[in-house]
Amino acid sequence: MPGAAAGTAATGAGSSGAAAAGMLPAQEAAKIYHTNYVRNSRAIGVLWAIFTICFAIVNVVCFIQPYWIGDGVDTPQAGYFGLFHYCIGNGFSRELTCRGSFTDFSSLPSGAFKAASFFIGLSMMLIIACIVCFILFFFCNTATVYKICAWMQLTSAACLVLGCMIFPDGWDSDEVKRMCGEKTDKYTLGACSVRWAYILAIIGILDALILSFLAFVLGNRQDSLLAEELKLENKGKLRASVSRTASVALFCKDNIHLHLKIKILIKIAFTAMP
């Protein structure tokens, strides 16, 4: 009889172990999926940070370089214009006379150039501040930092759009007409042509919009990742609690059966005594 009780206990323990073994593949699959999810999110985050730095370099170059518009084959004078710095020839020699400074807005030939310089400069400062915010990844919630950077990048893109749209409004200034001809007017370049810095600024707008969208996606993925981690942790705790409860119940049941069988054996032994 005690052997039968031991066999019952062994059978119960074996069935419990088989149930636990049956749960392992699902847990392992969930763990592998979670690990790959985290690894992919981090890889995309690193690429996002690298391209953000590249966009900041593009923004600084567009702000500093004076090659937004320039002379052409039929222009009266040689020269080129930037946001706040421009150089124009005098017609008698190949030397260019350069003027304009960001620290001295009064030297700019048009109010539109001043406004464009302000917005492009603000865009540059915002993206630099976004890069500085990368430090917050070590101290704050990752999803929150991504969303802060996303709003900064979106605002930077908006400032770039304003700068690129306002800049042609100053093409009717006397200095631009002196270089590009009398046919030059607002949003009409006459004999001049658009240079690479202006084109790079337009490309930068698309870059900033893509980066801000990606930052929002990464922030939302981090939120879902945290929720999934909590869910997995709670599931693990629940399963462990259920397993412990089942083990305790099985142990108590086996002990009760064993005590009953021992009592029966004792009664039989006393009954058989003369």
**DSSP secondary structure string, 55-83?**
HHHHHHHHHH---SEE--TT-SS-EEE-S
Q: Which residue has the higher pLDDT, 252 or 28?
A: 28
AA identity, residue 204? G
For position 15, what pLDDT does the model report?
45
For 202-213, the pLDDT digits (tens) are: 999 999 999 999
For position 17, what pLDDT does the model report?
45
Q: Which residue has the higher pLDDT, 110 or 57?
A: 57
Q: Which residue has the higher pLDDT, 110 or 118?
A: 118
Q: Does residue 257 have a pLDDT over 80? A: no
3-state secondary structure string across 130-155: HHHHHHHHHCCCHHHHHHHHHHHHHH
What mean pLDDT comes out for the span 24-32? 61
AA identity, residue 194? V
For 145-154, the pLDDT digits (tens) are: 999 999 999 9
The DSSP letter of residue 173 is: S
Question: Are 143 and 106 contacting, i.e. CB atoms less than 8 angstroms apart?
Answer: no
Mean pLDDT taken over the chain:
78
What is the C-alpha to C-alpha distance for residues 148 and 142, in angstroms, rounded to an integer? 10
Q: Does residue 259 have a pLDDT over 70? A: no
What is the C-alpha to C-alpha distance for residues 163 and 59, in angstroms, rounded to an integer? 12
- What residue has token string 């093409």? 171
Question: Are 192 and 155 contacting, i.e. CB atoms less than 8 angstroms apart?
Answer: no
Q: Which of 88-92, 165-169, 180-184 has the lowest mean pLDDT?
A: 88-92
The DSSP letter of residue 183 is: T
pLDDT class of 244 with cuts at 50, 70, 90: low
- What residue has token string 């953000």? 52
- The model's pTM: 0.70
In this structure, is the dihedral angle defined by the CA atoms of residues 125, 126, 129 and 130, taken in order, positive or negative?
negative
For position 98, what pLDDT does the model report?
87
Q: Which residue has the higher pLDDT, 38 or 95?
A: 95
CATH topology of domain 36-222: Butyryl-CoA Dehydrogenase, subunit A; domain 3 (1.20.140)
Can you state the angle between helices 142-166 and 196-272, rounded to 10 degrees?
160
Sheet with 86-89: list strands edge to edge: 96-99, 86-89, 79-81, 69-70, 193-194
For position 43, what pLDDT does the model report?
86
CA dihedral of 129, 134, 137, 141, whole degrees rounded to 10: 40
For 153-170, the pLDDT digits (tens) are: 999 999 999 999 999 999
What is the C-alpha to C-alpha distance for residues 96 and 90, in angstroms, rounded to an integer? 7
- What residue has token string 């690193």? 46
pLDDT class of 14 with cuts at 50, 70, 90: very low
Q: Which residue has the higher pLDDT, 239 or 24?
A: 239
pLDDT class of 89 with cuts at 50, 70, 90: confident
